[in-house]
Amino acid sequence: QQDIEAVVKAAKGHTVKVIIETVLLNHDEIVKASELTKAAGADFVKTSTGFAGGGATAEDVKLMKDTVGADVEVKASGGVRNLEDFSKMIEAGATRIGASAGVQIMQGLEADSDY
């Protein structure tokens, strides 16, 4: 928490996103990381970088949003390949989506990438 607080302080009012790599964490660890993010004053908690394999799941996004409430936004990144995935993330509580194929998704096409 202290490390996140230091980043928030150094950012001086700029947006701070904390990436927690949900694919590497269990339920309790996702909750704890989300709680620490909120307590430290970060603006966003983000599911993944995309480098650890896998990506966002609607279940993880919902768990994160349920944990941080309205105080912190949730960004779902990785694994969003089509409009159905996109919709599931929004319904689960994501306010931002990170996807490498945003144009294809909005056109209703399936993304080619595994990320």
pTM over 0.75, yes/no = yes
Range 75-91 average pLDDT: 92
Residue 115 confidence (pLDDT)? 47
CB 63 within 8 A of CB 31: yes
What are the extents of the domains in the chain?
Answer: 2-106
68 closest CA partner among 33, 114, 106: 33
Is residue 110 predicted with pLDDT exceeding 80? no
At the top level of CATH, the class of 2-106 is alpha beta
**Which tens digits make up the pLDDT trace of 15-35?**
999 999 999 999 999 999 999
Range 78-100 average pLDDT: 92
Structural Rg of the chain based on CA atoms: 14
